[in-house]
A and B are shown apart, each in its own frame.
Chain A
Amino acid sequence: MENRRPRAKKRGLTDRPPRFDREQISLQVMVLPAFLSVVVFSVIPISGVIISFMDYKLGGGLFNGQWVGLKHFADMFSDKLFLRALRNTVVISFLDMVFCFPAPIILALLFNEAPFKRFKRLAQTGSYLPHFLSYVVVAAFWKIILDNKGIVNNFLLSAGIVNAPVEFWTTPKYYWPLTVIVSLWKNAGWGAIIYFAAITNVSAEVYEAAIVDGAGRFRRVFSILLPAIMGTIVVMGIMRLAGLFNASFDQSYLLGNVFNRDVSYVISYYTIELGLRRMNFSYSTAINLFQSTASLILLIAANTYAKRKSDASIF
């Protein structure tokens, strides 16, 4: 077809904008429904953040109420309780990133390499089930296992590793490692699913060519599979990093108790306790706004870094 100009190379950002031809309209139409859905249901309600600069009272309409500027933010950062929650949130998120981010990747790779196909299928189905257990049940389960008279302690005592039962839940220094373990257990299998999908993308030919070339098992994993799913890994990684200021409320509420409150109290708990439960929406919206802004900054930073180091990035 004569009229069509084949677009052989990708356009850089400094080139002049693409033409508004039929192809362009098609592409725009493709994006439009999703975009509209987001605008209507997610973007329009964002206007509600305005109440974090006001003293919002229920029942008076969304834009009534006194303007107080940055008062809520000032209150936030001068509240020792909030600062403690902030510290805990960041630490727990960070530990989660370090340990729970690589785990699904490793799991997916290991599963891929394992023999016994049928059993693998069964195990894979099992691996994501903890994700569905509500934290109420998860907490109950883990508390029983790690109880002073529970299985783990019985084992430790009889094996002579310790002399007295380890008080897992009431000793503050164990809390953070415990969150990592419970998180791993709950989410690793579910997180691995997306990596499974990415692995299927690797064409069998490339893989077999590598075998013929003499690449050993380990080599195949690291040089073929891993790079192939790197795109997915980077995307997940950036998103994870941006979630540094978010930590699970359920985990904090159900695994935490009066003894480890100092280390288990997180921002989401603070927001719910001092914001929603006291019907102080301006305050809870202000805290959310802080978290959102911080996440956004992290996202942009992580994305920029990823762009420099590799060609995989979000935008």
Chain B
Amino acid sequence: MGKLRLTGEDVAMNAISALAVMAVFVVTLYPVWYCLIYALNDNVDSIKGDLYILPRVFTLENFKTIFRNVNVICSYGVSAARTLLGTLYSLALMMPAAYALTKRGKLRFYKFYTAVFIVSMYFSGGIIPFYLLLMNMRLLNTFWVYILPGAVGYFNLLLIMAFLRELPSALEDSAMIDGANVFQILIMVVTPLSKPVIATIAMFVAVGHWNDWFSTAYYTTDPNLMTISTYLTKLVQEEQAKASMQSLAQNTVTKQMLAADMLKYACLIATIAPIVMVYPFVQKFLVQGMMVGSIKA
């Protein structure tokens, strides 16, 4: 296939979309850059503000403060383990369920299941009944409290279902004629085709696990179960609590006290960094889509 001629329309579309991409790039990446410069800038100097392009007084002190605690490595480990296992578990539960639910005509009790799912999505008894349930199931203060609850979100199920419905049925039908049972179809035909949605949902779930500081804060007390998100949240809250106490006491405030609040930028970068490192792998699954439609050179 030779090079296609660029029409006027093509040029216009290319220009508009390129501009959009550039704008998005600047507008969204810059704030993260902004946080990065504050994270790498000396806190006492940061109080002055007015930092836009580069740090004024470069220092790694903020990151040292975060990693000073030996338990930080353990926390990253716990977060990673939780993210990995939790995501696998979620997908293992949701993929078959979504597939079965798309077979609306064939699946008995479809309406019942759907009704229950919908109710679960919108209605909640609040945190107290949930906590009591966890307590009664003896999940509190265990690693499994991170994995088992909340593994299935109807919202994600719906997305997978929407995607699956768009798949051409030809492959499935031919597999059925070949005598494959439902499980085999799911595993050998449907799943390989669903890589984009699996990658996407996996990303959503994984990010949810990674960022969840709530579970650790309220459902565990064992320091070995500390996750990095809770650790960082605690750091930031600690500084803020100490800072606000000063103003209440109307006591003299020193620069050091103010400066400590700047730690939140470094905490943010520490949270984002692993995600940014992992996403390119996820992107591979999505890249195919980006090729469709663009002029192949």
- Among the 9-residue stretches A39-47, A92-100, A254-262, the one with 4 or more Cβ atoms under 8 Å from chain B is A39-47
* Interface members, chain A 61-106 (any B CB < 8 Å): 62
- B55 CB-CB contact with A under 8 Å: no
**Chain A residue, CB-CB nearest to B155:** A239
**Chain B residue, CB-CB nearest to A243:** B122
| CB proximity of B272 to chain A, nearest CB, Å | 5
Contact B292 A204 (CB under 8 A): yes
- A198 CB-CB contact with B under 8 Å: yes
* Interface members, chain A 5-61 (any B CB < 8 Å): 6-7, 10-12, 15, 17-18, 20, 22-24, 26-31, 33-35, 37-49, 51, 58
**CA gap between A130 and B27 in the complex, in Å:** 9
**Chain B residue, CB-CB nearest to A196:** B286
Q: Is the interface of A mostly helix, strand, loop or mixed?
A: helix
- B225 CB-CB contact with A under 8 Å: no
Q: Cβ of A185: which chain B residues have Cβ within 8 Å of it?
A: 27-28
**CA gap between A200 and B291 in the complex, in Å:** 8
Contact A113 B17 (CB under 8 A): yes
**Chain A residue, CB-CB nearest to B184:** A26
Contact A126 B268 (CB under 8 A): no
- A144 CB-CB contact with B under 8 Å: yes
- Band of interface residues on B: 35 or more
Contact of B18 among A7, A116, A124, A225 (CB under 8 A): A116
* Interface members, chain B 270-293 (any A CB < 8 Å): 271-272, 275-276, 279-280, 283, 285-293
- With A11-B105, A47-B125 known as contacts, the answer to whether A129 contacts B276 (CB < 8 A) is yes
- With A45-B124, A113-B293, A235-B158 known as contacts, the answer to whether A201 contacts B196 (CB < 8 A) is yes
Contact A44 B162 (CB under 8 A): no
Contact A38 B159 (CB under 8 A): no
**CA gap between A164 and B288 in the complex, in Å:** 50
- B220 CB-CB contact with A under 8 Å: no
Contact of B124 among A7, A46, A188 (CB under 8 A): A46
Contact B28 A198 (CB under 8 A): no
Contact sample, A vs B, 16 pairs, CB 8 Å cutoff: A22-B181, A24-B107, A28-B100, A31-B97, A31-B100, A33-B96, A44-B133, A121-B290, A127-B25, A129-B272, A196-B200, A196-B289, A197-B200, A203-B168, A216-B9, A217-B7
**Chain B residues with a Cβ under 8 A of chain A:** 4, 7, 9-10, 12-14, 16-18, 20-22, 24-25, 27-29, 31-32, 34-35, 49, 92-94, 96-97, 99-101, 103-109, 111, 113-114, 116-126, 128-130, 132-133, 148-152, 154-155, 157-159, 161-163, 165-168, 176-177, 179, 181-183, 186, 196-197, 199-200, 203, 207, 211, 236, 264-265, 268, 271-272, 275-276, 279-280, 283, 285-295
**Chain A residues with a Cβ under 8 A of chain B:** 1, 6-7, 10-12, 15, 17-18, 20, 22-24, 26-31, 33-35, 37-49, 51, 58, 62, 107, 110-117, 119-130, 132-134, 136-138, 141, 144, 185, 188-189, 193-194, 196-204, 207, 211, 216-218, 220-221, 225, 228, 231-232, 234-235, 239, 242, 281, 284-285, 288-289, 292, 295-296, 299, 312, 314-315
